[in-house]
Structure 1
Amino acid sequence: MILHNGITLRQLIKGSAGFICIVMAWIFLLELVDKITPMALFSNSSPPVTMLGLAVAFFLGFKNTSAYGRWVEARKVWGDLVNASRDWGNTIGNLVQTDGTPIDPEIRRELLERHIAWVNMLVFQLRQPNTNGRSRRPWMFGHKPVSDKTALHQDPECWRTSQLEIDLPRLEGKSNQAAFLLFLQGERLSKLAQAGRIDPYWHVALTNRLARLADDQGQSERIKNTPFPRQVAEVGRIFSYIFIFMLPLAFNDERSITIGLELPLIQSVLLDWLVFAPVGALVCWIFFVTERVSASMEDPFEGDVTDVPISAICRMIEIDLRQMTACGAIPHAAEPIDKTLL
């Protein structure tokens, strides 16, 4: 997630400098062709280009709204996961046995550490490359990918170090290890209830909390494994490039500042180009950036700089739970990298 002041005009231009150069060259080529041809090849092109621009603008608006809704939904799911985790920490921290005495500290530590391990495992699974979605872009709004500067929960060691030693052998070979950790939590609670360590009320209450966590995991996996509709994404991108390709034609009717002047061909072309190319390139660039904005929000868990910062949220959950229960060393909060929170 790009933080405040993380995007500047300079970065936007830097991230799209190649596109701007191509558009400027295309406008120059059209101006040159228009000057050297005896017939007005591009005359009366404004009406169709205008109609196309309106259609593309409406479609991009729909695409942006859909992509942003997907990003917001992912953030809401993780907001609920934060609340559910705090509820879990509060409940485990105040859990009592059937005789009214506090639960064994080792049991409390086990239930808490396994929950932290589950959050780390879930983030790791969500960060894995998705073959169903789009390919990651090398640049996004002037920001390079920062996966080379942090594990981003993409290295298996980032979750192995958070697991309980007793759980590691049972996790081997499981296709959904995060879901299996929730099963281990439920299994542990059942054993405590069978041994009479916790009464049935606490067992049911804690099981219901596990169900809420499983629901949050399922919603996250639904967003992760259901790619943004490619027909919407690709058609929007193609329509944008068609409009960008045709937009310079609409300026042909206005290129008349050299009419009546006795100027060499190249000088006439350059003069008209210097007057109209910046305006045409600006309009094309706006449509280009608008399409990129929607593309940046299509897959909110891939680890791009514009995604939901689930690694930072995971660290925040761990800090909150350890401060609540005084269990284990409290880590430092996640720090922004290049004005992005991951």
Structure 2
Amino acid sequence: MYVRRGIHVHHLLRDSWPFLIGVSLWSGIVVYLNEILELRFLSIPIVPVTTIGIAVSLYLGFKSTSAYSRWWEARQVWGAIITGSRDWGNSVLNLIYADGRKLDPAVRQDLIRRHIAWVHALAFQLRARSRLKAAGATYAFGRRLIFQDADYHQTPESYRRLLSAEEIAEVEATGNIATHLLRRQGDRLRELAEQGFLDSYRHVAMMAMITALFDGQGKCERIKNTPFPRQVANFGLMFTWIFIILLPLAFVDSFEAETALRSMSEEASLDYLLLMIPFTLLISWVFHIMERVSDSTEDPFEGGVADVPISALARTIEIELLEMMGAGDVPDPMQPVDGVLY
């Protein structure tokens, strides 16, 4: 997620320069074919192309709104996970007790440690199987910057460091690591209830917290495992390219009509017609960026530069829970990399 106020121009150019070169070449070829080789049949009226442009812009607006809704839902879910984690930490410290009996501090530490492991396991699972192409530098759209270490949830060590060897073997033998970490939390609460450290009311209240965490995990998995409708995404890209390809053909007709109206010489007419190239480039680039913006927010957990910063949010949860326990080995918050928080 970008945390700077604006996106640096060089980030946009890294994604856009092949497109800009391609559109410039195509516009130049259209001018050459029309003016030098006099293939006048290539030009088309501008009114139909304008109509297509209006339709494409409305379609891209719908696509962008739909993609942003997925991104915003993902951010809301992780906001709820942060709130639920704080509630869990507070409850572990204050609801587990028995009159006249002292609870081993390791029990509370174990419950909080396993919860932190669950958060990191969930982030690791959400970052797995990305459809985005890895890049060695920051791009504005469609790429992800990968750090092969646990901090960015690219390796299982992101959650393994918090679990015992027995727990690692048990949960990794299952199909969903995060699910079974929450199940183990429920098992531990049952044991504490049997030992008298939780009455029925407090036991139900803490199980309800686990249910809410299951709900948040399920919402994340729904977003991750349900791809953005490809008919919406692919047709948006297709319509955009149809408009971009037709645009210089329509501009040739429009600029030629203007030169005829002004009775320009042949040389002046060619110079004037060359002006259509930068205008074609500008308009095409605007539509290209509109399409890329929607594409970059389709899948908010892939680790792209515009995605929800789940690694930073997971670190925030870890810091706050460790501080609740009074632990001395609290990690530092995640810092942006080149203006991007992951």
Alignment TM-score, normalising by the size of structure 1: 0.91
Paired amino acid for 1:154: Q
Give the C-alpha shift of residue 36 in structure 1.
Answer: 3.3
Contact 2:240 2:291 in 1 (8 A): yes
Q: CA deviation at 1:337?
A: 0.8
Which residue is 2:17 aligned to? 17
**Shift in CA distance, 300/314, structure 1 to aligned 2, threshold 3 Å:** same
Structure 2 vs 1, CA of residues 104 and 191 (structure 1 numbering), >3 Å: closer, same or farther? same
Amino acid in the other structure paired with 1:21: I
Within 2, Cα distance between the matches of 1:317 and 1:45? 59
Is 1:95–1:102's contact at 8 Å kept on the other side of the alignment? no
Cα gap change, 1:334 to 1:102, in 2 (>3 Å): farther
Report if aligned partners of 2:15, 2:139 keep a CA contact under 8 Å in 1.
yes
- 2:140 aligned partner: 141
CA distance in 1, matches of 2:238, 2:282: 19
Alpha-carbon deviations, 1:125-180, whole Å to 9, x = none? 111015xxx54475742796320465421212222112244422322311101000
- 1: distance between equivalents of 2:294 and 2:71? 10
Deviates more, 1:111-120 or 1:168-177: 168-177
Aligned equivalent of 1:169: 169
Quote the Cα distance in structure 2 between the aligned partners of 1:223 and 1:72. 11
Higher-helix-fraction structure: 2
Map of 1:313 onto structure 2: 313
The 2-side partners of 1:233 and 1:309 are apart by 23
The 1-side partners of 2:339 and 2:9 are apart by 15
**1:277-292, aligned counterparts within 5 Å?**
277-292=277-292
Distance 1:28 1:182 in 2: 61
Decide whether the 8 Å contact of 1:171 with 1:180 is kept in 2. yes
**What are the within-5 Å matches in structure 2 for residues 1-342 of structure 1?**
1-5=1-5, 7-38=7-38, 40-99=40-99, 103-130=103-130, 134-136=131-133, 138=135, 140-141=139-140, 145-148=144-147, 150-151=149-150, 152-252=152-252, 253-255=254-256, 256-257=258-259, 260-263=264-267, 269=270, 271-272=271-272, 274-342=274-342
Over residues 39-86 of structure 1, what are the superposed CA-to-partner deviations in whole Å (9 max), with x where a residue is unaligned?
632455201101110110110000000000000000000000000000
Distance 1:287 1:262, change over 3 A: closer
Question: Contact (CA 8 Å) 1:46, 1:251: kept in 2 or not?
Answer: yes
Q: CA deviation at 1:115?
A: 0.4
Structure 2 stretches lacking a partner, 5+ long? none
- Mapped to 2, the partners of 1:95 and 1:85 lie a distance apart of 15
Following superposition, the deviation at residue 300 of structure 1 comes to 0.5
The whole-number CA distance in structure 2 between the counterparts of 1:154 and 1:147 is: 8
Classify the secondary structure of the residue corresponding to 2:302. coil
Give 4+ residue runs of structure 1 displaced > 4 Å after superposition.
256-259
Decide whether the 8 Å contact of 1:300 with 1:307 is kept in 2: yes
Distance (Å, rounded) in 2 between the aligned partners of 1:176 and 1:143: 27
For 1:212, give the aligned amino acid.
A
Q: Give the number of aligned pairs.
A: 335
Q: Distance in 1 between matches of 2:178 and 2:149?
A: 22
1:117–1:328: structure 2 CA closer, same or farther, 3 Å change rule?
farther
Paired letter, 1:336: P
When structure 1 is superposed on structure 2, of 230-239 and 249-258 the one drifting more is 249-258
Structure 1: runs of 5 or more not aligned: none
Comparing 167-176 with 277-286, greater Cα deviation is found at: 167-176
Residues 143 and 304 of structure 2 are in contact (CA less than 8 Å); yes or no, is this contact kept in structure 1?
A: no
* Residue pair 2:64, 2:294 contacting (<8 A) in 1 also: yes
How much has 1:199 moved relative to structure 2? 1.7
Q: TM-score, normalised by structure 2?
A: 0.91
For structure 1, which segment, 302-311 or 64-73, has the greater mean C-alpha deviation from structure 2 after superposition?
302-311
**2:59–2:236 CA contact under 8 A, matched in 1:** yes
**What is the alpha-carbon distance in structure 1 between the residues aligned to residue 102 and residue 316 of structure 2?**
26
**Inter-partner Cα distance in structure 2 for 1:25 and 1:246:** 14
Residues 104-131 of structure 1 show CA distances to partners (whole Å, capped at 9, x for unaligned) of 211110001000010011101111015x
Letter in 2 for 1:41: F
CA distance in 2, matches of 1:183, 1:44: 65
In the alignment, the residues of structure 2 paired with residue 340 and residue 108 of structure 1 have an alpha-carbon distance, to the nearest angstrom, of: 35
- Alpha-carbon separation, structure 1, partners of 2:142 and 2:235: 26
> For 1:172 and 1:39, how far apart are their aligned partners in 2?
66
Q: 1:262 to 1:188 in 2, by over 3 A?
A: closer
- State the SS of the aligned residue for 1:167: helix
Aligned Cα root-mean-square deviation (Å): 2.2
